[in-house]
């Protein structure tokens, strides 16, 4: 985040006052004189007149990468059985970014940062989401070509996307759209039924070695790259 926002969140002074301190060369980041427009991560050491300042613990935003199992519903509604919030049971109030249907599994982000949610939802039809999909019959070249070049569903034609075969009945697809049950509907047009659908990447965030039901916090480098691309 920008140095002005970081310092304002510590409660030391306002963003405008931070600009004055930067001009006066009274702020350092990792022992380097701070300049206007500098950004910092939570691991950086920020000092004003030699005294280190830190963000208040309760002001730190939470960013979680979760490998959602099949059967978990992406909702914060407490009365919904199997809702994602109750499953994770995180000690702070968080909510999912976007959705991943109950029958699907894989990567979903959760946070208490409303700003990043709004930015990601506004750009939902631009950022990449990658899936591994298993279907009920052998994949043909015609299926790969058809899925890649746009499919008529829900009264529209899907955007061009990258589709590649992994093995006889499993393929990889990278979308820049978020239509309702998009991959399942696209596959059905060609006579295929999806047996397993797993999201493995959202933009620069990868599911990695997380097992179903496990979660981890977003790393500083992942968060920085994510925010830079929004």
Helix axes of 182-189 and 141-148: crossing angle, nearest 10 degrees? 130
Percent of the chain clearing pLDDT 70 (strictly above): 96
pTM, 2 dp: 0.75
Partners of residue 217 on adjacent β-strands: 64
Q: Rg of the chain's alpha carbons, rounded to an integer?
A: 22
Identify the pLDDT of residue 27.
95
Tens digit of each residue's pLDDT (9 = 90 or more) over 137-154:
999 999 999 999 999 999
Identify the pLDDT of residue 42.
66
Q: Say which residue, 191 or 220, is predicted with more confidence.
A: 191
Q: How far apart are CA 195 and CA 137, in angstroms?
A: 10
Tens digit of each residue's pLDDT (9 = 90 or more) over 61-120:
899 999 999 999 998 888 888 999 999 998 888 889 988 999 999 999 999 887 787 778
Is pLDDT at 39 greater than 80 in this prediction?
A: yes
Q: Return the DSSP state at 85.
A: H
Identify the pLDDT of residue 114.
79
Burial 176-189 (b: 16+ CB within 10 A, else e): beeeebbbbbbbee
């Amino acid at each position: 985040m920008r140095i002005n926002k970081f310092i304002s969140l510590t409660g030391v002074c306002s963003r405008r006052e931070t600009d004055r301190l930067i001009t006066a060369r009274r702020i350092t980041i990792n022992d380097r004189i701070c300049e206007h427009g500098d950004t910092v991560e939570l691991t950086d050491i920020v000092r004003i007149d030699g005294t280190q300042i830190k963000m208040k613990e309760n002001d730190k935003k939470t960013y979680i990468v979760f490998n959602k199992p099949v059967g978990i519903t992406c909702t914060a509604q407490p009365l919904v059985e199997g809702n994602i919030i109750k499953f994770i049971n995180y000690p702070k109030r968080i909510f999912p970014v976007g959705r991943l249907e109950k029958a699907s599994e894989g990567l979903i982000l959760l946070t208490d940062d409303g700003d990043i949610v709004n930015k990601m939802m506004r750009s939902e039809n631009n950022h990449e989401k990658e899936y591994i999909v298993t279907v009920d019959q052998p994949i043909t070249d015609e299926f790969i070509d058809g899925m890649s070049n746009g499919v008529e569903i829900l009264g529209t034609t899907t955007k061009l996307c990258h589709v590649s075969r992994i093995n006889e009945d499993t393929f990889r697809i990278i979308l820049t759209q978020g239509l309702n049950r998009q991959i399942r509907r696209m596959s059905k047009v060609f006579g295929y039924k999806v047996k397993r659908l797993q999201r493995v990447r959202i933009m620069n965030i990868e599911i990695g070695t997380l097992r179903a039901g496990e979660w981890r916090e977003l790393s500083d480098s992942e968060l920085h790259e994510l925010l830079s691309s929004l």
